[in-house]
Chains A and B, each alone.
Chain A
């Protein structure tokens, strides 16, 4: 079965600074990869997903993520964060074989300081 690790529980960045949130996965082949965002008091919303092809994926709200097979990583990036980006971010991995469900990471909480 697949697994996913988000090593950073909480990250604080200044508004306007760049952001990178880390995600590492474990799976025997190339998985399906996702980033979801949860704003305070809300459900989760899909930011972007990787299935195959171009390893740099563009998402909503100016986010992008890069799939690196050699590092088993799918890190989320944004060149300049806005106060509204303060939220919790979840990486998720899905198996490309069988009927496994999505597996979510434990989340990274992002705080933005003025």
Chain B
């Protein structure tokens, strides 16, 4: 069974802290994505990666960075967390192209920034 694992389901951080959200997939997928989910706004793409060490900005990259050192792992980094980054973060992976490949999602990481 395919699996995308997000290491932290719930995090509480303070303003200004550096936050790491980790995502691992076991499907040998080329593409990995980080989305942010907020009520009434749906899913918004933060960053994506189509290969190791490659990354592309999504629709809302400000305040975030990413790292992909290994094919199976894609990390989202908040350099200095702010309260407006309180949200649900979803990691996903896909084998095929960005617009037509089935996305496989992790269970999400709910981040609260105080």
Contacts and interface: CB of A to CB of B under 8 A. Distances in A.
Do A and B bind?
A: yes
Contacts of A96: 99-100
B90 A43 contact: yes
Contacts, number: 58
Contacts of A99: 97-99
A102 interface: yes
A49 B100 CA distance: 9
Interface in B52-108: 58, 90, 92, 97-100, 102-103, 105-108
Given A94-B99, A102-B45, A106-B41, 11 more contacts: A42-B108, A43-B4, A43-B90, A51-B100, A90-B43, A95-B99, A101-B33, A101-B48, A102-B99, A104-B35, A105-B42
- Identify whether the interface residues of A are mostly helix, strand, loop, or mixed: loop
A32 interface: yes
A60 B45 CA distance: 26
Interface string B29-47: 0000101000011111100
B23 to A, nearest CB: 11
Interface in A16-39: 32, 36
Nearest to A100: B99
Given A101-B58, A106-B41, A32 B107 contact: no
A14 to B, nearest CB: 25
Contacts of A107: 42
A90 B42 contact: yes
A49 B42 contact: no
A56 interface: no
